[in-house]
Amino acid sequence: MTDTAAVLLDGIEKRYGQTRAVDGAGLALFPGRVHAVVGENGAGKSTLLKIAGGVIAPDRGRVLVLDRELRPATPREAIRRGVAMVHQHFMLVPTLTGLENLALGEEPTRLGMLHLSPLAADVERLARSLRLEVPLDVPVARLSIGERQRLELLRALRHAPKVLILDEPTAVLAPAEARAVLGLARDLATRGVAVALVTHHLDEVAEFADEVTVLRRGKVVAHHPPGDPAIGDVGRLACEAVGEEPPVVARHARRGVAREPHVRHERVRLRVDDLHVDPGEAGAGSPLRGVSIELAQGEVVGVAGVEGNGQHALELALSGVLPSRRGTIALDGADVTRVTIADRRRRGLAWIPSDRHAHGIADELPARDVLLLGAFDEAARRGVVDDAELDRSFAGAVKALDLRPDAPELAAGSFSGGNQQKLVIARELRASREGRAALVLAAHPTRGVDVRAAATIRRSLVDAARDGAAVLVISSDLDELRDICDRIVVLRGGAVVATLPPDTPVSVIGEAMLG
């Protein structure tokens, strides 16, 4: 039966202060279809889908689940009615084990005590059949990002939901894992589940979606029913999302950042020599086993690899979060292996972290102040924070990255996911613009940001190199690496297994990653 919607949102409005997060949008999710929801950062995608999942109550509008109103509008009721949701930001309690997280909310008990072993058996069976294997008995804090995402999916799928809402499920995943997740979504749709898929990767839409809704500033600006050729037209969807004419956008939508042929400078800015790192309990995935890399001034070097092959340990070791067991890290010739994060920053490290919630921002701080974190020395001449200076850098970020909303006092946590990332980028790249950065360490810099901002960020990274920094980009987006890097090193099993030129075909890089 495809004539009745599994979920119907109608005339939804939701405001936060002055911001109209959702402004009269509607959405119908039908069984058997993957319905993509696309739009710029801050367009209201997450808010709209959270309303479908009972997480947020709308100010106005109707939410029907299988023709009956969702009441009370709570997650519990939504789950009970068969609506499962995987949030854009992980909704896992890091100190609890995977199994405890899965149990939370409807814990099986026996004689008043938790009784999780039958659940574990069930979940393991489900995990095997869906190929979502993940360790269940360690605290989630120790799992890699990919494992956490699998855990979220497992939880969502535990009760055979009728509706599955996926808010940017692939943003944090390596390409192979992303394809597996999308393939799973497709599969479930074939079996009659209604799937909603939020994504910024329009090529995923073309390949996996049956139906598309485009949001802009809280309104539906386009809807393409199944069979509409626009669904496969990446350029057109991008235009609709940003509301611009095709020629302008077509250029933005392509990943292309024109690279001038790299001029090799002699000055070595980063030298990593035989680096060994144990991930410990920091959830850094797998260890590093003897990595050596050298980056000269003006160079952009990409790090590719299947998630869990040491990228995260490399990021945390270079930034100074994780200690190194053996080997050295030198910035501009000075050994910084045992130097704190703050001192590394003083010597010119800029770091765009992969986990912005753990390392990049503080949710409660006003956005303007987030731009100050880790950069007190510059902002506080003579020990007093210069507010005018802060306002200027916020205004700069709004302009350069199209940061939205233009509300410096709003808590960072209230910005949409992509706009939070833009805040971090604005802060970290400020030093390089001013020519003070020695190394820009960018881990998944365009994760979760819309196509236009992604292009801007890529260009800024290249600019940082031109301004004299060495730029190390860790990314699971191989096209991104090929676009902006001078060379790509491939990590496998915690070691560098290949160094490739940027015009290497994706398939060849992929082979090196898999070995």
Partner 1 sequence: MSRLFTLAFLAQAVRIALPYLAASMGGIWSERAGVPNVALEGTILVAALGAVAGTTLTGSAWLGLIVGLLAGVLLQIVHALVVLIGRANAIVSGLALNLLAAGGTRFLLRALYDSSSNSPAIPGLAPPASTSLLRATVLDPTTWMVAAVVVGTIVALERTRLGLRVRAVGEHPEAAASVGVPVARTRAVALAITGATAGLAGVWLAFDQRQFSSGMSGGRGFIALATVVIAGWRPLPAVGFALLFGVAEAAQIVLQDQNVVAHQVVQALPYVLTLVVLAGWVRRARPPAALGRP
Ligand X SMILES: Nc1ncnc2c1ncn2[C@@H]1O[C@H](COP(=O)(O)OP(=O)(O)OP(=O)(O)O)[C@@H](O)[C@H]1O
- From the list 29, 70, 79, 488, which residue makes contact with partner 1 (rule: CB under 8 A)? 79
| By CB under 6 A, residue 353 contacts ligand X | no
Q: Which of 227, 218, 194 lies closest to 5, judged by CA? A: 194
| By CB under 8 A, residue 362 contacts partner 1 | no
| By CB under 6 A, residue 53 contacts ligand X | no
Q: Label residue 480 exposed, middle or buried (CB < 10 Å: 0-12, 13-18, 19+).
A: buried
Torsion sign, CA atoms 266, 437, 289, 178: negative
DSSP-derived secondary structure for 55-114: SS--SEEEEEETTEE--S-SHHHHHHTTEEEE-SS----TTSBHHHHHHTTS--EETTEE
Distance CA 484, CA 314 (A): 20
| By CB under 6 A, residue 170 contacts ligand X | no
Distance CA 381, CA 387 (A): 11
Q: Which is nearer to ligand X, 7 or 439 (CB)?
A: 7
Listed ranges 34-42, 61-69, 342-350, 494-502: which one lies at the site for ligand X (CB under 6 A): 34-42
| By CB under 8 A, residue 198 contacts partner 1 | no
- From the list 106, 122, 187, 274, which residue makes contact with partner 1 (rule: CB under 8 A)? 106
DSSP-derived secondary structure for 278-297: --TTS---SPEEEEEEEEET
| By CB under 5 A, residue 19 contacts Mg ion | no
| By CB under 6 A, residue 208 contacts ligand X | no
Residues numbered 392 to 431 that lie near Mg ion (CB under 5 A) are 417
Residue 162 Cβ, how far from partner 1 at the closest point, in Å? 17
Q: Which residue has the tokens 């039966």?
A: 1
Structure tokens at 286: 């797998």
Distance CA 419, CA 411 (A): 12
Q: What, of ligand X, Mg ion, partner 1, none, does residue 137 touch, CB below 5 to 8 Å by kind?
A: none
Residues numbered 60 to 89 that lie near ligand X (CB under 6 A) are 88
Q: Label residue 49 exposed, middle or buried (CB < 10 Å: 0-12, 13-18, 19+).
A: buried
x/- mask, partner 1, residues 311-340, rule CB under 8 A, reads ------------------------------
Q: Label residue 30 exposed, middle or buried (CB < 10 Å: 0-12, 13-18, 19+).
A: buried
Single-letter residue type at 380:
A
- From the list 29, 70, 88, 456, which residue makes contact with Mg ion (rule: CB under 5 A)? 88
Q: Which residues contact residue 120 at a Cβ distance below 8 angstroms, ignoring those fewer than 6 apart?
A: 99, 136
Residue 365 β-bridge partners? none
Q: Which of 16, 57, 36, 2 lies closest to 220, judged by CA? A: 36
| By CB under 6 A, residue 356 contacts ligand X | no
Q: Which is nearer to Mg ion, 88 or 286 (CB)?
A: 88
Q: What, of Mg ion, partner 1, ligand X, none, does residue 75 touch, CB below 5 to 8 Å by kind?
A: partner 1
Listed ranges 40-48, 145-153, 344-352, 385-393: which one lies at the site for Mg ion (CB under 5 A): 40-48
Q: What, of ligand X, Mg ion, partner 1, none, does residue 93 touch, CB below 5 to 8 Å by kind?
A: partner 1
x/- mask, Mg ion, residues 45-64, rule CB under 5 A, reads -x------------------
- Chain positions contacting Mg ion, by CB under 5 A: 46, 88, 417
- Chain positions contacting ligand X, by CB under 6 A: 16, 19, 21, 39, 41-47, 88, 404-405, 414-419
- Chain positions contacting partner 1, by CB under 8 A: 55, 74-76, 79, 85, 87, 90-96, 100-101, 103-107, 109, 112-114, 155, 364
